[in-house]
Structure 1
């Protein structure tokens, strides 16, 4: 082969390096259902900005932050600010929010009763057993008038903070993902929208009561604190907050998931 041809091959090889260098793999943890589905819609938009998004699904709310903190993933998209604050306080994770995503109004579901008023005395209600979502469930019941909680209880009340319980409701604390599976065994269950959807429930028409969508429970994208100002984070947020993704959320979920940008 001539020197001229070898030189041409070398130049062509070098010409491909900048494009390859611009592509960055970003592993994002998400819970199954809407969070993961929305990220699938983000992928082609992010690809145009040089990001190769790999979606890693987790079946619970605990592991995604541990995986992020340890470097097994670069970001996660599954939680709200009160939950993240609780995880950081309890576990010392150096991770933080870099942008808002969507809101999933939590709902009360029942296979036995058609309204909260129809719940009998001594009814059993399942609630998530993590502090943030369990507290969120109790705050919902207080908002609907079923119970009263201690004053200034904040965002993480537990059943021992209930001060007035006229119907003598019994609370069954379970892993959030198990909510749809235990509905046959309780009078009602308070279930996060992503798990309701994954469990075949209709999060718009299905609940007998639903949380006010305005509040602190908007979901977010979290990254390690050391990464928050990196260019790929900005590109990821721009991709997520695009008109195309907003349209996807509105058409796909028809009101069960609300965009927050």
Structure 2
């Protein structure tokens, strides 16, 4: 940022010599300011990107990305939210540029229910959904009428119920899939009570519920490790990893803004992938978008070929 230069107020009755000195100082200062302005990289004036994020792991990942983004000329301003509603509302209203906390099914469900116009600007990571101990430490310990706490929002409840089904605790109606609710439970041999709670509250019921089913970020907040504490969790090669990838979401029409593109590029960089793998003990896994990577490689090859052709044509003309 170029600061304004403030010069001393002229003295009344100054000498001609003093006046000449003042003019020279002014000229030098102006030249210095102009030089700084010309030398400053254009990217430095790009501006600030505001992002609404869940504290863990999203805000942490953004904090690690901030220095890399600054190298591209963008300042990152992150505001943390602990719910799943306000981050979408502030982006849809234009108060903030983007958010980073949700997966695509939740985004689509929110748009449908709230009438918002949010879109995916880039998939960054996924968080394996897990079953964690409460008053019981294993599935085998479950008894008649035990309570299992699950998130109550549409897509995350379905994901929790599907994980319970995969582990033999319940059976859902055919075709329930990503819209499953407790009303779709057809078999429940232990008459388990499925306690539906706001996602952020589930981890707080480990003293009351036999087991809890947690989103990855809330498991981290509660101090759980997927590798060490989860009784069961979604595998890395599962369809869930692709379905529930956490994305940068923006208001429709803003997905190609230069700042948003820079943000996604940094978050998908090798540096951030390494940070995620080294920091979160398997609770957060970088999303590998093979189709997008292939497209980028193809574009890079095309650009290189075009550059080589242009150079060859220039050399021919020079001869």
TM-score, normalised by the number of residues in structure 2: 0.77
What's the offset of the Cα at 1:10? 5.4
Q: Supply the distance in 1 between the matched residues of 2:43 and 2:257 (Cα, whole angstroms).
A: 18
Map 1:114-193; keep pairs closer than 5 Å. 114-193=137-216
Q: Describe the SS at the equivalent of 1:145.
A: coil
Offset at residue 9 of structure 1 (A)? 5.0
Larger Rg: 2
Residue 244 of structure 2 is aligned to residue 221 of structure 1: no
Do structure 1's residue 256 and structure 2's residue 296 form an aligned pair?
A: no
**Aligned 1:221-240 pairs, distance under 5 A:** 221-240=248-267
2:103 is aligned to 80
Aligned to 1:62: 85
Cα distance in 2, alignment partners of residues 11 and 114 from structure 1: 68
Establish whether residue 207 from structure 1 lines up as the match of residue 230 from structure 2. yes
**CA–CA distance in structure 2, aligned partners of residues 47 and 6 of structure 1:** 28
Q: 1:11 to 1:105 in 2, by over 3 A?
A: same
Give the match's secondary structure for 1:244.
helix
Task: Find the residue that maps to 1:33 and give its secondary structure.
Answer: helix
| Gap change, CA 1:147 and 1:48, over 3 Å in 2 | same
Alignment of 1:42-53 (within 5 A): 42-53=65-76
Residues 20, 229 of structure 1: CA spacing in aligned structure 2 closer, same or farther, 3 A cutoff?
A: closer
Q: Kindly provide the CA deviation profile for residues 215-254 of structure 1, in whole angstroms up to 9, marking residues without a partner as x.
A: 2111111111121111112111111111110111111112
User: Please, which moves more after superposition, 242-251 or 18-27?
Assistant: 18-27
- The Cα of 1:199 is off from its aligned counterpart by 1.4
> What is the DSSP-based 3-state SS (H/G/I as helix, E as strand, rest coil) of the residue aligned with 2:143?
coil
Higher RCO (CA-CA < 8 Å; seq separation 6+): 1
Partner Cα separation in structure 2 for residue 61 and residue 76 of structure 1: 11
Report SS of the residue matched to 2:179. Answer: coil
Q: 1-side partners of 2:220 and 2:49: how far apart?
A: 26
Give unmatched runs, 5+ long, in structure 2.
1-21, 289-319
- TM-score with structure 1 setting the length: 0.94
RMSD of the TM alignment (CA)? Answer: 1.7
